[in-house]
Structure 1
Amino acid sequence: MSKQYHSFEEIDERLKVLNLQRLIAQESIKLQFNSAKTDLVPQQLRQGLGATFSQKGTIKSLVITFLSGKLLDFIKSKRKSRNRDRS
């Protein structure tokens, strides 16, 4: 159901509100993206997967370290290719 407006002032006010909501949503996405990047730091990724640093010599810790490094390299390569495509 669409709203009916009775003046241009009402339309302008609604457009301002929608623009502010859009800006808030953009900032929220940026914040979530930066939070996700922080969560992908290898140390935090290892902790999240259950590897403890008291077991530095375990195979589990080594495998998780290796896989997290590969994952970060993959993400970086995708970003670089995406940035080259934009240029």
Structure 2
Amino acid sequence: MSKQYHSFKEIDERLKVLDLQRQIDQESIKLQFNSAKKDVIPYQLRQGLGASFIQKGTIKSVVLTFLSGKLLDFIKSKRKSRNKEAS
């Protein structure tokens, strides 16, 4: 079901709205990506592992991010178990 336009002005207005929606969606995705990246692995650990996060989309950075997150979860669980045993 396509919308019918009666003038070029209507088409231009619709294109402007769609362009603004696209820009908003792009910025939203960028914010969500950056937030997720910061939540997954701390900056210092990324640098320590030598991950090249400047190059976007590298397999190395994705694998290192995933493994680093798992390592951090493992360390946190060990600390919690030690704290419970000490109490």
TM-score, length-scaled by structure 1: 0.51
Letter in 2 for 1:16: K
Q: 1:48 to 1:17 in 2, by over 3 A?
A: farther
Aligned pair 1:51/2:77, yes or no? yes
Percent identity for Structure 1 against Structure 2:
64
Letter in 2 for 1:19: D
TM-score, length-scaled by structure 2: 0.51
Structure 1: distance between partners of 2:75 and 2:13: 49
RMSD, aligned CA:
2.9
Larger RCO, structures 1/2 (Cα 8 Å, 6+ apart):
2
Structure 2: distance between partners of 1:2 and 1:49: 56
Once the two structures are superposed, residues 3-55 of structure 1 have per-residue CA deviations (whole angstroms, 9 ceiling, x without a partner) of 00000110000000000000011001101110111111258x43598526464
